[in-house]
Structure 1
Amino acid sequence: MTTIYDISKETGFSPTTVSKALNDYPDISNRTKQIILNKARELGYIPNSHARILITKKSWTIGVLFDEKLNIGIKHPFFNSIIESFKKSIESRGYDLLFISKDIGGRKISYLDHCKIRGVDGVIIISSDFENSEIQELIDSNIPCVLIDVESDKASTVHSDNLQGCFLGVEYLYSLGHRKIAHIHGKLDTYAGHVRKNGYIKAMEKFNLEKKDEYIVDGGYFSFDGGYKAMKKLLELDEIPTAVFVAGDYMAIGAISAITENGLKVPDDISIIGYDDIEHCKYTTPKLTTIRQNTELIGENAADVLINSIDKKNARTSVIVPVELVIRNSCKAVK
């Protein structure tokens, strides 16, 4: 097995310099680090994890706490994409990921206890229930945390510019001549549901459009069924909206299904805009116009923020990631 002494002999650098380069110490120049890292890869060097922990005082393990109410789990394309991006960025810096549960060996424990037992250096938290007492306990601890898709005054956060996303959606519908614009929102006990509903209201006010209470419908926890049922309610109104801004793509796809089932067409009769730009949007009929969240950038920023927090390079940080309108075929100008 290759050792640091073998690398030292091959490169001409001292064992101490080699060790510091392999463990990313700041007092080693980038050129020296690159020479040593290249030689380490060439020789097939595999670091001893226990020695690495003793030297760096880190476990080199990041916890992933994923908890949502959609009952889709990690298969949800939006969250899955964020975790994949985060994983690539974290692993490129030598960290492993560990999913945090409330169970070790069949014994129920708290999230915080699990993190302490495993000795994680930090945690990325993706949850639709940040008021959960056990999640709050972890956030309040001295373990560095970064929260995804939420705002917080207790921990670092990374989330999309939801207000701008709502403005872009309503602005586009307005530009097409729509004035009767409804909104299907997610559950208001979720950050996305709450902030996007407020964003819709502010955007309607910006364009001096009438906000009708009956045009604002709860779509539940961002599911297909929730969007379907919410759209059914809108279709029962005496004055049906000409367009609907929906706070999530799954709900938007459900809304399209309800409209089609009712004998109407999207976008000929009703225009629909979703939110997230999940992969499914490209394959719906019609293809869904939506607000794209940059999941790759969210994951990369989350990794940067968390690593800086672990290395004590920053205090609490909030990163807002830009969004963009993706125009496809589900919207049409009013005649």
Structure 2
Amino acid sequence: MITIYDIAKKTGFSPTTVSKVFNDYSDVSAKTRRKILEAAEQLGYLPNAHARTLTTKRSWTIGVLYVEPSGAGILHPYFAGVIEGFKQVATARGYDLMFISKDIGGKKRSYLEHCKIRGVDGIVVILPDYADPYFLELLDSSIPCVLLDQESELKSTVCSDNLEGSLRAVEYLYRLGHRKIAHIGGGDTFSGNRRLQGYMQAMEKLGLPVNPEHVIQGSFDYTVESGRAAMEQLLRAGERPTAVFAAGDNLALGAMMALKERGMKVPGDMSVVGFDDIEMAKYLTPSLTTVRQDTYALGNRAADMLIYTIEGGEGIRTDILPVELVIRESCRSL
């Protein structure tokens, strides 16, 4: 079995310095750390996780709490990108990930209880649910925590620039000549409210009246079916819009399906813009113009923020990441 003494012999550093690297001490230079880690990889050294836990008083485990009501679970396109970005940073820093639930061994427990039982060092919460008292209990606890797609005065948060993305979407439609622009919202969620706010601000900025019949709320879980239902409602409005900005790509997809079922064409009869840039967006016919949020970067940033807190960093941060308008085929000039 390869030991730290073998690595010390190969690199010329002392066993104490080698041990500091594997126990994540900060008083080792980046150059020394890199040489030791490279030697460990060459020799096939595997650090003893139990010993590292005893030395550092940490479990080196991060809990992942994912609240996603649509039923898609980890297949949800938002989750896939975020968790992959989060995992890249966390595992590179020596942390394992563990999913957190309220059900352990068939017994119902709170999120906080689960975290304490498993001894996680911190937790990332994706799409938090403020209606859940167990979530609020976790939020009030001393466990390091970072929230995605939410705002909080108690914990650090990270999200995309929902306001700016909505402004860009509406302004783009305006430049194409559209004046009757509708909005399919994402329900009473953090991102849904922000995207609705951005739509309203853009309409006011451009001097366009907001027709109440043109603002339809989809479901808070952004399903295709709710996008379809919202478009059917828009088509019954006294004055039909020429374009619609949907708060999510699944909502936009549902809207496009409803138009097709009515024998209408996108963008010939109505232009459509989405938000998210899920993988499917570029393969639709027509391909979907949408606001791209970088879910991978969101995960990266959340991991950096959480590990900073776990390792003694102080302060509550709110990070807002930039978005990009991706122009494809679903909009036309009037």
Please report the TM-score for the alignment, with normalisation by the length of structure 1.
Answer: 0.97
Distance 2:36 2:321 in 1: 36
- Aligned ranges 1:136-147 → 2 under 5 Å: 136-147=136-147
Aligned-residue sequence identity (percent) comes to 56
1:164-243 aligned at under 5 Å gives the runs: 164-188=164-188, 190-220=189-219, 221-243=221-243
Q: How far apart, CA to CA, are the structure 2 residues paired with 1:21 and 1:126? A: 31
- Where 2:94 maps in the other structure, the secondary structure is coil
Question: Aligned with 2:85: secondary structure?
Answer: helix
Q: Deviations over 1:243-274 (max 9, x none)?
A: 00000000100000111111111001100000
Structure-2 residue corresponding to 1:10: 10
Deviations 1:282-325 (A, max 9, x none): 11111000000011110110011001011122311111000010
Cα RMSD for the two superposed structures: 1.0
Q: Does 1:20 align with 2:43?
A: no
> Structure 1 residues 151 and 171, CA, compared in 2 at 3 Å: closer, same or farther?
same
CA deviation string 1:201-241 (max 9, x = no partner) = 11110111001111000111210000000000111122110
Matched, 1:55 2:50: no
Instruction: Give the superposition deviation at 1:58.
Output: 1.1
Which residue is 2:37 aligned to?
Answer: 37
- Aligned-pair distance for 1:128? 4.6
Partners of 1:314 and 1:262 in 2: CA distance: 56
The question of whether the paired residues in 2 share the 8 Å contact of 1:160 and 1:293 is answered with yes
Is the CA contact 1:171–1:203 (under 8 Å) kept in the aligned structure 2?
A: yes
Counterpart CA distance in 2 for 1:186 and 1:296 is 21
Consecutive unaligned residues of structure 2, counting only runs of 5 or more, are none
- What aligned pairs does 1:299-310 form with structure 2 within 5 A after superposition? 299-310=299-310
After superposition, give the CA deviation of every residue in 1:18-44 in whole Å (9 maximum; x if it has no partner).
100122211111121112111111111
1:331 aligns with 2:324: no
CA contact under 8 A between 1:291 and 1:326: conserved in structure 2? yes
Say yes or no: does 1:264 pair with 2:264.
yes
Q: How many residues align?
A: 333
Misfit runs of 4+, over 6 Å: none
Paired residues of 2:128 and 2:147 also in contact (CA < 8 A) = no
1:154 aligns with 2:154: yes
Deviation of the 1:127 alpha carbon: 2.5
Q: Secondary structure of the equivalent of 1:64?
A: strand
User: How big is the shift at 1:157?
Assistant: 0.4
Give 1:247-258 correspondences, 5 Å limit: 247-258=247-258
Within 2, Cα distance between the matches of 1:53 and 1:240?
A: 63
Contact 1:22 1:36 in 2 (8 A): no
Give the TM-score normalised by the residue count of structure 2: 0.98
- Does the residue aligned with 1:21 lie in a helix, a strand or coil? helix
Counterpart Cα distance in 1 of 2:12 and 2:330: 64
Q: Supply the distance in 1 between the matched residues of 2:33 and 2:251 (Cα, whole angstroms).
A: 50
Aligned to 2:87: 87
> Which whole-Å CA distance do the structure 1 matches of 2:3 and 2:28 have between them?
19
C-alpha separation between the residues in 2 aligned to 1:103 and 1:158?
Answer: 27
What code does the residue aligned with 1:239 have? E
Corresponding position of 1:322: 322
Amino acid across the alignment from 2:244: V
* Separation of aligned partners in 1, 2:50 and 2:63: 19
Instruction: Tell me the amino acid that sits aligned with residue 184 of structure 2.
Output: I
Distance in 2 (alpha carbons) for counterparts of 1:176 and 1:8: 66
Contact 2:266 2:286 survives alignment (8 Å) = yes
